[in-house]
Chain A
Amino acid sequence: MEQNITQKPIIEIKGLKKRYRMGVVTGKTLKADWESFWARKRGLPDPNVKIGQERLVGQTFMALNGIDLNVYPGEAVGIIGINGAGKSTMLKLISRITAPTEGEIILRGKIASMLEVGTGFNPELTGRENIYMNGTILGMKKSEIDKKMEEIIEFSECRDFIDTPVKRYSSGMYVKLAFSVAAHLESDIIIMDEVLAVGDVAFQKKCLARMSAAAQEEGKTVLYVSHNMSTIRQLCNRCLVMKEGKIIYDGDVEEAIRVYSEESFRFDMHRTFPQPAAYPKRQEAAVTGIEILDRDNLTCSADEKLKVRFHTKFIQPVEAMSFFVAAKYAGTNIVGTYISQSIRSNMCEDAHVDLTFDLSTFVPGKYFCDIRLVSMSNGKMRYSEEIPAAFGFEISDNAAKGSFIWDIGKWGYNLLPVLETKVDS
């Protein structure tokens, strides 16, 4: 989307900072504050500080550390970054939920902020009553809501229940109704924090279409935070990557997603996972650590094999247990899942389980793997252990794909075996 340089930015952020105090913010009761004060006086540990948080008390941390940003009318800007990068804090400041510590934000338009759908919904009130309640909280006039009532009800797919208290709604209907109100706000700027993750797939599609239309046809400005890269791709024409309270990349969406993947890719050759003092009663086994075998880095060629050792602790004898390893492309979609051969163990012991991964179908890029231990008994699957992003690897090239540049947006993450081809003429 071309942007008019002579136009003033609709959102202008200059040197924005937000400082939070860490550890226990306040004792919440006079008694607790007094205890803390008294303990400090006598040099004893503060009884109100959580163990392990001691070093954080009194420290501050910058959730946002100097943000400068101009957003022009009609842009749909995605914001990505690992948890704690400051994405949500930035949206909170722009939507005036909390005040900045330093810097300023200039907004040149009416803002509709959807950090959550259904804020202010009251379970006792009917759907219609809640539309009025929620709409006015979002800043609409009653007359505006009257005008859009039909449209909102139609969009929500809840017409038959509109005069029923929302406490009788299914959770799906509830969010549908809530999103419908928010989606019909008259505003120039729309701010969303993963609210599209509501309802069933069909409704999600509808929401996304509605938002795209708002951005592309009605010329609204959209700021959208998500961990779901495919919705970012669909909706946004510009993307920011945030890290530790700063914007580290600003520009093209695909490039931003790549930068984000690099950032979140930080895997070691060895990892140990902390174990609980006691395992849940039904847990059969636990993975205590992993180790990459036979190599000294994680950059592989697709024709190589990756050998990984899983340090496994069998807590109970197991009949038939498998490792399920789900590979994800740079934290987005699951590309495929490996399943190990079934393991049987009569003893409660520590064991090494070595698994060999065939990487031949992966296209170049970085991948994360989630591990799950799944036992099968009487035809039922049971999960014993789940470790998200336990290890990862990078595919540097795939000889099978030839010399062209692989377009993930068009062809996905898996290069399937070459087709048997026969030409008759």
Chain B
Amino acid sequence: MENQKEIIIRPPSGWFDFNLKELWDYRDLVKEFVLRNFKLIYKQTVLGPAWLVFNPIFTSVIFTFVFGQFAGISTDGVPQFLFYMAGNSLWSLFSTSVTNNSNLFFANKNVFGKIYFPRIATPLAQSISCLINFMIQFVALLAFFVFYMVTGSPLRFSLKMLIIPVILLQTTLLALGVSLIFSALTAKYRDFTFIVTLGMQMWMYVSPVVYPMSLTGGWMYKILLFNPMTPILNNFKWAFLGSGSFMLWSWVLSFVTTGACLFVGLAIFSKVEKTFVDTV
């Protein structure tokens, strides 16, 4: 027991009690969680991870019919299917990480009640898994991109695409922040599991997923500027598809919102995690 450091357990105090060093010690656990999440996708399925790709393709086909053909919503000159698939994939990165994590206390109550590990490993791993799933979908998206490019659509690879990793990271962090807040709420009231599902559907329609920002105007445009997902989706399509125009100030605000959500989320989470097991 030479130079053994002491662990001191005390009643919870303070409101931002977050041990990054400890999380680093448990990095292998985060890796295992990510690995497990991935393995569980294809256990006892025939197509396995292919489902990850089918999902956005299928939804995009429907969107192409409903919003593109029926409603005739403009896609800023981008092939409709590609426009919807791009928006859809990025949106589902955000929404699945929020919904998957928002119920994490109940989903893991058996594990949390029996063993200690930094609880934040669970949502973190979930977010990383969603990001990995997005990467797989992104490969499919790139394939369609190349297909449309060679068939004559005005699509080009450009340096603008370099901002895409930043966008993905921001989306993941924003989703983590939002879901941590919700996870604390669902730990107290299960109603919030339903509210989250409903809320995410509504949130999608006030974000430029199925329509470009050029379609919005007036007060609606101004409101959309405050939605942190607006510049994320808009700038993603700008960088990837070359459609629309770059939103700078709204994006800056979106970064601030992301930071705030993450901070509040971590603070609430660190409070709830300490005594959550007493209340289930």
Is chain B a partner of chain A in the same complex? yes
Interface check A248, CB cutoff 8 A:
no
* Docked-complex contact B32 and A33, CB < 8 angstroms: no
Q: What is the bound-complex CA distance between A73 and B1, given in angstroms? A: 9
On chain A, the residues within 8 Å of B1 by CB distance are: 10, 73, 108-109, 188
Contact A137 to B28, CB < 8 A, known contacts A107-B7, A108-B4 = no
Contact A107 to B9, CB < 8 A, known contacts A98-B274, A137-B29, A142-B28 = yes
* Docked-complex contact A125 and B39, CB < 8 angstroms: yes
Interface check A25, CB cutoff 8 A:
yes
Q: What is the bound-complex CA distance between A342 and B44, given in angstroms? A: 56
Q: How far is the CB of A7 from chain B (nearest CB, A)?
A: 9
Q: What is the bound-complex CA distance between A120 and B116, given in angstroms? A: 12
Q: What is the bound-complex CA distance between A111 and B115, given in angstroms? A: 11
Closest B residue to A144 by CB, please name it: B28
* Docked-complex contact A113 and B115, CB < 8 angstroms: yes
Interface check A234, CB cutoff 8 A:
no
Q: Which of A108-160 contact B (CB under 8 A)?
A: 108-111, 113, 115-116, 119-120, 122, 124-125, 129, 132-133, 136-142
* Docked-complex contact B115 and A104, CB < 8 angstroms: no
Interface check B190, CB cutoff 8 A:
yes
Closest B residue to A132 by CB, please name it: B32
Interface check B21, CB cutoff 8 A:
no
Number of A-B pairs, beta carbon distance below 8 Å: 121
Contact A115 to B114, CB < 8 A, known contacts A100-B11, A108-B1, A188-B4 = yes
On chain A, the residues within 8 Å of B205 by CB distance are: none
Q: How far is the CB of A94 from chain B (nearest CB, A)?
A: 7
Partner pick for B189 among A33, A108, A115, CB 8 A cutoff: A33
Indicate the member of A33, A102, A119, A137 with the most B CB atoms within 10 Å. Answer: A137
Closest B residue to A95 by CB, please name it: B116
Contact A97 to B112, CB < 8 A, known contacts A106-B6, A132-B32, A137-B117 = yes
* Docked-complex contact A120 and B12, CB < 8 angstroms: no
On chain B, the residues within 8 Å of A25 by CB distance are: 278-279
Closest B residue to A96 by CB, please name it: B116
Q: What is the bound-complex CA distance between A29 and B278, given in angstroms? A: 17
Cβ proximity bits B16-29 to A, threshold 8 Å, 1 near / 0 not: 00000000011011
* Docked-complex contact A26 and B279, CB < 8 angstroms: yes
On chain A, the residues within 8 Å of B277 by CB distance are: 92, 97-98
* Docked-complex contact B4 and A115, CB < 8 angstroms: no
Q: What is the bound-complex CA distance between A136 and B25, given in angstroms? A: 10
Interface secondary structure of A, over-half rule: loop
Q: What is the bound-complex CA distance between A93 and B116, given in angstroms? A: 10
Contact A107 to B6, CB < 8 A, known contacts A96-B116, A98-B275, A138-B115 = yes
Contact A30 to B191, CB < 8 A, known contacts A100-B9, A188-B4 = yes
Q: How far is the CB of B109 from chain A (nearest CB, A)?
A: 11
Q: What is the bound-complex CA distance between A132 and B116, given in angstroms? A: 16
Q: What is the bound-complex CA distance between A105 and B116, given in angstroms? A: 15
Q: What is the bound-complex CA distance between A101 and B275, given in angstroms? A: 10
Interface check A99, CB cutoff 8 A:
yes
* Docked-complex contact B9 and A99, CB < 8 angstroms: yes
* Docked-complex contact B114 and A101, CB < 8 angstroms: no
Q: What is the bound-complex CA distance between A119 and B114, given in angstroms? A: 7
Contact A105 to B9, CB < 8 A, known contacts A97-B112, A119-B110, A122-B40 = yes
On chain A, the residues within 8 Å of B25 by CB distance are: 139
Cβ proximity bits B60-104 to A, threshold 8 Å, 1 near / 0 not: 000000000000000000000000000000000000000000000
Q: How far is the CB of B94 from chain A (nearest CB, A)?
A: 26
Partner pick for B7 among A28, A102, A106, CB 8 A cutoff: A106
Closest B residue to A92 by CB, please name it: B277
* Docked-complex contact B110 and A99, CB < 8 angstroms: no
* Docked-complex contact A136 and B7, CB < 8 angstroms: no
* Docked-complex contact B9 and A96, CB < 8 angstroms: yes
* Docked-complex contact A124 and B40, CB < 8 angstroms: yes
On chain B, the residues within 8 Å of A109 by CB distance are: 1, 4
On chain B, the residues within 8 Å of A103 by CB distance are: 10-11
* Docked-complex contact B36 and A122, CB < 8 angstroms: yes
Contact A141 to B4, CB < 8 A, known contacts A104-B9, A120-B115 = no
Q: What is the bound-complex CA distance between A95 and B116, given in angstroms? A: 6
* Docked-complex contact B11 and A106, CB < 8 angstroms: no
Q: How far is the CB of A73 from chain B (nearest CB, A)?
A: 6
Interface check A31, CB cutoff 8 A:
yes
Q: What is the bound-complex CA distance between A250 and B189, given in angstroms? A: 42
On chain A, the residues within 8 Å of B117 by CB distance are: 137, 139
Q: How far is the CB of B184 from chain A (nearest CB, A)?
A: 13
Partner pick for B115 among A26, A97, A102, A106, CB 8 A cutoff: A97
Partner pick for A137 among B6, B39, B111, B190, CB 8 A cutoff: B111
Which B residues are closer than 8 A to A by beta carbons?
Answer: 1, 4, 6-12, 25-26, 28-29, 31-32, 35-36, 39-40, 43-44, 110-117, 188-191, 274-275, 277-279
Between A and B, 7 residue pairs with Cβ closer than 8 Å are A28-B190, A103-B11, A104-B8, A104-B10, A113-B116, A119-B115, A138-B115
A98-B278, A105-B8, A139-B25 given; name 8 further pairs at CB < 8 Å: A26-B189, A30-B189, A97-B112, A98-B274, A104-B9, A106-B7, A106-B8, A124-B40
